Structure 1
Amino acid sequence: MKLPKSAHTSRPWLIHELTTDFAVEDVWALPTPGGPDDLPLLVSQVVKGDFPEGAPLVVRLLWEARWKIGAVLGWDRPSAGFGSRVATLKDRLPRALRDEPSGPDTNDLPFTSLYLLQDEWAAEMANGTVHTVMHIGWVPDGSGGYHGQMAVLVKPNGLFGAAYMAAIKPFRYALVYPALMRTIENTWRAGTAGPPPLHA
C-alpha cells in the first residue's frame, strides 16, 4: 500500500541525517506482518529475493531494457558511480557505525548495503541518472505487531536525471511496484510459515 511521504519522514531514523540533500520519492507499507525482531529476516529475503526473475514478463522486459540502454549510453559505467561522480553515503555515517558490519551482501541487486540497525536498513546505488537509497524500516502496526515499510530516496543527476525519473514514474507505479509488492509478500509468507499442522 502506498503511503504519504510523512510516514517516512516522521520516523526518528538515522537515514534522515544522511540524506538531507535527497528527496523522498516513494513510501510503501510492505505486506510483511511480524514481530519486533524480524527486520533481519525481511532484509535477507529482499536481497535474496526472486525479483525481477519472478515478476511478470512485461516487468522483466522493462528491467532488461533498462540495463541494456544503460550499457549503450554509459549510465552504469564506473565513472558514473561511487568514487567518481558521487561519494558514497558511508562517508556520512556516524563514526561509531563506520567500522560496523553494513548489512548483508546484496548479491545481484545493483545496491550496496549502508547499515543495518534493529529497526532500519539502508542500501544505495549510483549511476549516470541518479543517486538512490532504498530504505526499509520496521514499524509497529498499532495492534502489537510490526511490518516493513519501504522508502525510495533520490538525488537526480541534474536535469537529465530529473527527466529520467519523471519518464519512468508511470511504469514504476503501474508495473514495477505491484510486481515487487507481490514478490515480497509471497516470499515473506513462504519464509515465515511454520511447519504444517499435525493431523490425528
Structure 2
Amino acid sequence: MLPNYFNTKPLADYMRHDLNIPADREAGSLSAGRVGRIAALAAASSAAYAATGHLLALLALLPAPAPAEEGDEDRRTFWTDLRRASGASALLPANLRIGVVAALDGHGAGLATRLLGAFGGMSTDQRVATALLVGEHLTNGDDFPGPASTTGELWLRDVELTAWQIIHHHRRPPTRQAREQFREAWNRL
C-alpha cells in the first residue's frame, strides 16, 4: 500500500535550511552538484514515506470497515470486538478515518500518533485480547502461520514500531547548529 507522495514539507525544509534553495526555485537554475544534494536529501526523507506505506499495509490486513447501512455484519463485528478487546475507542473506524485518509495522502504522523496512544493505553489483559483477536483474523486463512496470539502480538509490535518511525521522521529537522554540536561532541571523545 503506497500513499500519494506530495508531503514534501520535510524535504523543502532541508533544502531551504541546508542548501539555501527555496522550494519554488526552477530546477533548470540548479547546478548538477545541487541536484545531487537534493537527490540525497530526498532519499534520506523517503523513510517517512516508506513507513507510512507500511503502516497502511498493516491496517489493510484487517477487515475493511463497513458503513452501518451495508449488511456486512462480520466486518462491523470485527471492529466492535477490537474496540471491546482493546478498550480503545480510538481504534473504531470512524475515529481512525481522518488519520487513514491523511496517511493515504502521505501524511502519516496523525494516524501514527493515534495508534501509539491507543496501544499505549492498553492494559496487559487488553493487549493480549487485542493480539488474539487480530491474530485470529490474520491466521484464519493460510496467509500467516503460527498461533493466533503470536501472530497478533507481532502485528501489534509492527504497528507500534512503524508508528514510532513515522513520528520520528516527521519531527522538526535538527538545525545546522544542532548537527554541528552533535558532530563536535562525538569528535571530542
TM-score normalised to the size of structure 1?
0.28
TM-score normalised to the size of structure 2?
0.29
- Structure with more strand by fraction: 1
- Structure with more helix by fraction: 2
